[in-house]
Amino acid sequence: MASSKKKLQGLVAATITPMTEHGEINFSVIGQYVDYLVEEQGVKNVFVNGTTGEGLSLSVSERRRVAEEWVTKGRNKLDQVVIHVGALSLKESQELAQHAAEIGADGIAVIAPFFLKPWNKDVLINFLKEVAAAAPALPFYYYHIPAVTGIKIRAEEVLDGIQEKIPTFQGLKFSDTDLLDFGQCVDQNRQRQFAFLFGVDEQLLSALVMGATGAVGSTYNYLGKKTNQMLEAFEKKDFSSALNHQFCIQRFINFVVKLGFGVSQTKAIMTLVSGIPMGPPRLPLQKASREFTDNAEAKLKSLDFLSFNDLKEGNLEACS
């Protein structure tokens, strides 16, 4: 399959699921959303129905329709559309994997089940294997996020010999700050063409130096352009510029983290920056407060993240 030949690299936006004020999915803006990512942010890969997309807050039928919409609207515009098909139920995860294959997605990603938990790496791999088998032609990505799953199994151990068990394995979304584990994933699999995608946006630079081949995150929806500047500087070995860009991004994330930063806030920020209405989240989340939105907007302006004119007079915080 063609898609399995091209390697997923660079920035991957963890997509937001736009909703109406009543918490129903607002499919109508996804086409516009695709264009915005490509044209304004320079981001051509998406990770659909993940944490940022409230994937596990959607019903299985909703997840199918969201996936379809992204594949359809992304055709000839996006490089890759990866669908997160992880679920607590193996059967539902398999159904979603099969569906992703049917609609022509470019890959599937799976989080470790986190209610009843696998005891060891072998059981975890068996679970992942059963999901992968439902889409035997699709590239498979393991979504490692131990702080959320509460599972202590190291990614490096999951990757050990994984191709013998999961032939479609193509890479890892690593959402943790343990760069020993991440580094050893890279080091021990150098011969293989895996994608090592880092998932902690605020410290991406620290993973690039450790061998990351790309990144999946929510901030690439609205800071993709800025982050691409960092990637370019890093490629050119211009580390001081790369660090300036990273710090600039950190200033924003550090600011919102202190206010309380999650999916609700990401929806509010994306609405501000892109002008595309992302709407409120669905329960169990609640809409970001007005206070948050006002503070975030002021910060975005002070950092020139709304205009992206990187040098504005009298704007001391703006990043050179």
Whether 5 is catalytic is no
Distance CA 238, CA 230 (A): 9
Distance CA 182, CA 173 (A): 10
3-class SS letters over 194-244: CEEEECCHHHHHHHHCCCCCEEEECCHHHHHHHHHHHHHHHHCCCHHHHHH
Burial 117-155 (b: 16+ CB within 10 A, else e): ebeebeebbebbbbbbebbeebbbbbbbbbeebebebbb
Q: Contacting its own copies (CB under 8 A), which of 137, 152, 191, 283?
A: 283
- Residue 167 or 260: the one with the smaller Cβ distance to its own copies is 260
Provide the minimum distance between the beta carbon of 103 and its own copies in the complex, in angstroms, as a whole number: 20
Q: Is 167 in the site for its own copies (CB under 8 A)?
A: no
- Residue 76 or 320: the one with the smaller Cβ distance to its own copies is 320
Q: Contacting its own copies (CB under 8 A), which of 37, 197, 210, 296?
A: 210
- Residue 224 or 281: the one with the smaller Cβ distance to its own copies is 281
Please tell me which residue in 44, 73, 121, 173 is annotated as part of the active site.
Answer: 173
CB contact at 8 A, 266 and 15: no
Q: Is 133 in the site for its own copies (CB under 8 A)?
A: no
What is the residue type of 315? N
Q: What SS3 state is found at 129? A: helix
Q: Is 150 in the site for its own copies (CB under 8 A)?
A: yes
Q: Is 65 in the site for its own copies (CB under 8 A)?
A: no
Q: Is 127 in the site for its own copies (CB under 8 A)?
A: yes
Chain CA centroid to CA 131, Å: 20
Provide the minimum distance between the beta carbon of 272 and its own copies in the complex, in angstroms, as a whole number: 21
Handedness of CA 5, 77, 250, 316 (dihedral sign): positive
Whether 143 is catalytic is yes
* Torsions phi, psi for 214 (to 5 deg): 180, -170
Positions marked catalytic: 143, 173
The residues of the shown chain that bind its own copies, judged by CB under 8 A, are 51, 54, 56-60, 62, 88-92, 95, 112-119, 123-124, 126-127, 130, 148, 150, 156, 177-180, 183-184, 186-187, 202-203, 205-211, 237, 239, 242-243, 246-247, 250-251, 253-254, 257, 260, 262-263, 281-286
